């Protein structure tokens, strides 16, 4: 089994490059299946967040030498399994996310894995690795106390909105009903002084968000036509590649603030500036963090040490799993050999034994083989330090 991880980060490829690196079609599952076929890979995992895109592939055969030509602009390419584990642990733990240590990325990682299973592009080859990464990331978050820092980009944006408005019940239009806006709404809802409006391409998702968080539902066609209702804040968080709120929509809504958490941006910064609207996007969010959040170097050092330890642990588990599978295949063949030899012995040289004696001899031989197999498995565990 060979592995290949191709990583794109917005700091290296820019927003446009990150957009181009991701799956492009509306049916991402079918697109990933087609990519698997083109690369002659057997399994895949795909993760896309606001600042990175990750492709992980498993191959039953040697990786084609030309494969990196498919991903020419990648930030980094990993081929060694332990390096892949270490990198993905860092991703799952938000080591270099917009918000250091945020919890949202681990949730996205888990959903990406569940999505890969649903798309039937991930199975017995990648599942043990990905499940172990999720398990260890949860454990590390608990050990290191990452809950002490901002939990997500949504909560950082929420804090900015709260400090920007003192008027009673500001109206907030959420464009996009995914996790980012849902977390933001729940954060604001605790303050009990906001009115929500929801709109999403998937109408049912907007309805669900309104049920969970309160508020009205706005038909998506009105967004695309610029017929936005009056509101104080527009929060945009979608996977759209284009501008969703133009100058017509802004003039109709007349908001005081835009909170654009989309990559690429879904609201034009220049237009908001011209109209005198406060714009809070990913750049502003990073600046806000730089001013308000000092990351302890000790925390970073502890995180690095725990990631290294967990990488070794996962690698050892996978080595044991691979070796055990080979051993079990060998045991199966050996069992067939000794059963055949024992049967030949019992029907030949030992044919005069009574049925009871033959049963006792057979049971003894079975126990001996079982014990021998167990000793080899335990020895393997010791060798890989499990």
Q: With CA atoms as reference, report the closest residue to 149 among 337, 350, 289.
A: 289
Q: Is the pLDDT of residue 352 over 80?
A: yes
Same domain flag for 357 and 371: yes
pLDDT at 59: 95
Q: Which two tokens stand for residue 325?
A: 């599978």
Q: What are the φ/ψ torsions at residue 58 (nearest 5 degrees)?
A: -120, 140
Are 202 and 177 spatial neighbours (Cβ–Cβ below 8 Å)?
yes
The last residue of one of the domains, among 131, 149, 167, is 149
Last residue of a domain, one of 134, 149, 164: 149
367 in any annotated domain: yes
The pLDDT score that the predictor gives to residue 290 is: 62
Determine, yes or no, domain membership for 298. Answer: no
Residues 9 and 130 in one domain: yes
Same domain, 344 and 279: no
Segment 310-326 shows an average pLDDT of 88
Q: What is the mean pLDDT of residues 158-174?
A: 85
Per-residue pLDDT at 297: 66
Classify residue 305: in a domain, yes or no.
no
pLDDT score of 331: 80
Q: Is the pLDDT of residue 323 over 90?
A: no
Range of the structural domain that residue 166 is part of: 153-292
Q: How many CB atoms are closer than 10 A to CB 352?
A: 6
**Residue 138 sits in the same domain as residue 233:** no
Q: Is the pLDDT of residue 78 over 80?
A: yes
- Which DSSP state fits 281? -
Q: Same domain, yes or no, for 62 and 169?
A: no
Domain end residue (candidates: 149, 171, 189): 149
Lowest-pLDDT range, 143-147, 252-256, 288-292? Answer: 288-292
Segment 24-30 shows an average pLDDT of: 84
What is the mean pLDDT of the segment spanning 302-310? 92
Share of the chain above pLDDT 90, in %: 48
| Mean pLDDT of the 15-34 span | 86
What average pLDDT score do residues 357-378 get? 85
Query: What is the secondary structure of 45-72 as a DSSP string?
Result: EEEE-SSEEEEEEEESSPPPTTGGGTTT
Strand partners, 32: none
Q: Which of 82-96, 351-365, 368-382 has the lowest mean pLDDT?
A: 368-382
- Tell me which of 379 and 245 has the higher pLDDT: 245
Q: Residue 122 is encoded by which pair of tokens?
A: 């991930």
| Number of structural domains found in the chain | 3
Residue 159, CB-side half-sphere exposure with 13 Å CA sphere: 12
Same domain, 139 and 162: no
Copy the structure tokens of residue 67.
Answer: 């494969």
Q: How high is the mean pLDDT of the chain? A: 87
Query: Is 316 part of any domain?
Result: no
pLDDT surpassing 80 at residue 150: no
Taking the mean position of all CA atoms in its chain, how far away is CA 121?
15
């Amino acid at each position: 089994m060979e592995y290949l991880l191709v990583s794109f980060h917005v700091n290296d490829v820019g927003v446009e490059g990150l957009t181009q690196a991701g799956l492009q079609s509306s049916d991402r599952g079918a697109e990933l299946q087609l990519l698997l076929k083109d690369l002659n890979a057997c399994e895949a995992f795909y993760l896309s967040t606001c600042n990175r895109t990750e492709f992980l592939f498993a191959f039953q055969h040697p990786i084609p030498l030309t494969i990196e030509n498919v991903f020419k602009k990648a930030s980094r390419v990993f081929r060694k399994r332990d390096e892949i584990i270490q990198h993905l642990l860092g991703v799952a733990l938000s080591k270099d996310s917009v918000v250091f240590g945020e919890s949202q990325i681990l949730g996205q990682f888990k959903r990406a894995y569940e999505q890969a299973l649903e798309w039937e592009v991930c199975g017995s080859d990648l599942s043990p690795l990905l499940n172990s990464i999720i398990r260890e990331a949860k454990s590390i978050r608990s050990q290191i106390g990452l809950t002490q820092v901002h939990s997500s980009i949504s909560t950082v944006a929420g804090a900015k909105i709260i400090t920007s408005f003192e008027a009673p019940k500001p109206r907030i239009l959420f464009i996009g009903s995914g996790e980012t806006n849902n977390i933001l709404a729940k954060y604001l809802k605790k303050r009990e002084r906001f009115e929500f409006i929801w709109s999403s391409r998937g109408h049912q998702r907007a309805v669900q968000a309104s049920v969970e968080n309160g508020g009205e539902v706005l038909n998506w066609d009105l967004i695309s036509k610029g017929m936005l209702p009056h509101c104080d804040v527009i929060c945009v968080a979608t996977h759209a590649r284009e501008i969703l709120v133009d100058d017509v929509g802004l003039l109709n809504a007349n908001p005081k603030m835009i909170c654009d958490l989309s990559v690429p941006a879904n609201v034009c910064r220049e237009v908001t500036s011209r109209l005198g609207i406060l714009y809070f996007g990913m750049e502003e969010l990073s600046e806000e963090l730089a001013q308000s959040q000092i990351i302890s170097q000790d925390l970073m050092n502890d995180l690095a040490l725990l990631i290294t330890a967990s990488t070794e642990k996962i690698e050892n588990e996978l080595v044991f799993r691979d070796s055990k599978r080979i051993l079990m295949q060998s045991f199966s063949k050996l069992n067939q050999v000794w059963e055949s030899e024992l049967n030949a012995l019992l029907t030949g040289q030992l044919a005069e034994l009574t049925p009871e004696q033959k049963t006792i001899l057979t049971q003894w031989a079975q126990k001996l083989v079982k014990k021998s197999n167990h000793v080899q498995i335990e020895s393997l565990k010791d060798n890989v330090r499990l």
